[in-house]
Amino acid sequence: MAADFRALRRRFPVLERKTYLNSGSYCALADTVREAINAYMDDRLLMGANWDVWVTKNEAVRAAMAKVLHATPDEIAITASASAGLNALARALDFTQRRNKVIVSDFEFPTNAQIWHAQELRGARVVHVPLGPDGYISLDNFARLIDDETQLVAVTHVCFRNGAKLDIPGIVSLAHARGARVLLDCYQAVGALSVDVRRLDVDFAVGGMLKYLLGTAGIGFLYVRGKLISQLTPTNSGWFAQENIAAMDITANRPSSTARRFEAGTPPVVNCYAAEAGLKIILEVGTDAIEARVRELTRRCMESLEDIGWTAATPPQQERRGPMVAIPARDSARLFAKLMEQDIVTSFRDDNVRATIHFYNSEDDIDAFVAAMKKHRTELHQPP
């Protein structure tokens, strides 16, 4: 049955008050996510510590996250952030061999470059793939740098600055042909686009539940391809990363045989309640239906901006876009503030104001945003 987006929209109270185009920073809060957080409070008030329920919640998030990514639960570590997952993975890689290059792109969110640069102390060489003259990073640029000394290609799915989407299948083919592995930072895509780790054939993926997955801050995930797990032993660990959490053995590190070996300590329990509820909505609506709706609204936004003579910095080709439309402004902070005065919630990075779109947005949201942009055009327009 086709998703009823009008009915779904009513489950996000902020949408009655605001034109909310900020899911790429922080999603709108759904009624059931709020109820889940309240349920945590009720459990605490009425039962104190309910350890058994807490562990179940963590496992429910793992199972739901696996479904969203088309992975198995054993391939998913539930972490405190995307950065925590990246760090755990980094600490499992050996950079003392000839194959010590990590390739990142100039589209990366800082954390997916900084963490690899931090491994330089352990022998890693980090190489950045630069933008082309058109502001995009084509496969040719990756092909020039991925070589037999490359251990990992760590790339973003969608760029947090300008909304450009990389050609992940193309990058994966290049990397695998040279014996390198691929890590996908899908935080700016997952939940709004279908991210199928099997179809994309990536080896690792990270993200979190704060944005398009409709959850909250303080919880993320790391996907590790099943057959690689036993080959990778992180040198950061903790009791929740052990094969038997209850063993309480202080004489050795015995990592779990699953991706849980990339976890550390007590799970972020309240965040698990929220994340489970958010993921449930994503799975109920369906990632393909969500992607189709997001594409429809994003296209409308790009075309309407073109009509008012304010070209976006986001690539015009649909296959190079995700759920974000980034618009260059003479003063992006000022434009952001002006929009906020009209109850239009966006965000800004560098010279761009970002409209980030989810299935709960409507045509009216897009039209209100573009009408406001038209009003500010004379003062704040900037060509890309």
Ligand X SMILES: Cc1ncc(COP(=O)(O)O)c(C=O)c1O
Nearer to ligand X by Cβ, of 82 and 285: the residue is: 82
Nearer to ligand X by Cβ, of 220 and 278: the residue is: 220
**175 to 204, contacts with ligand X by CB under 6 A?**
185, 187-188
Among 69, 82, 88, 297, binds ligand X (CB under 6 A): 82
> Are the CB atoms for 365 and 116 separated by under 8 Å?
no
268 binds ligand X (CB under 6 A): no
Least distance in Å: CB of 89 to ligand X?
13
Among 163, 191, 215, 220, binds ligand X (CB under 6 A): 220
323 binds ligand X (CB under 6 A): no
83 binds ligand X (CB under 6 A): yes
Nearer to ligand X by Cβ, of 75 and 185: the residue is: 185
| Number of residues counted as binding ligand X (CB under 6 A) | 13
160 binds ligand X (CB under 6 A): yes
Least distance in Å: CB of 158 to ligand X?
7
Least distance in Å: CB of 131 to ligand X?
17
263 binds ligand X (CB under 6 A): no
208 binds ligand X (CB under 6 A): yes
Among 23, 81, 258, 314, binds ligand X (CB under 6 A): 81
Site track 330-369 with ligand X (rule: CB under 6 A), x = hit: ----------------------------------------
Nearer to ligand X by Cβ, of 111 and 173: the residue is: 111
Judged by CB under 6 A, the stretch of 2-10, 30-38, 99-107, 109-117 that binds ligand X is 109-117
Nearer to ligand X by Cβ, of 53 and 217: the residue is: 217
Residues 6+ apart with CB under 8 A from 15: 9, 28, 360, 361, 365
Residues 6+ apart with CB under 8 A from 80: 218, 219, 220, 264, 268
Among 109, 273, 310, 359, binds ligand X (CB under 6 A): 109
Per-residue exposure over 203-213, b if at least 16 CB sit within 10 Å of its own CB, e if not: bbbbbbbbbbb
Nearer to ligand X by Cβ, of 158 and 380: the residue is: 158
156 binds ligand X (CB under 6 A): yes
Residues forming contacts to ligand X in the complex (CB under 6 A) are 81-83, 109, 111-112, 156, 160, 185, 187-188, 208, 220
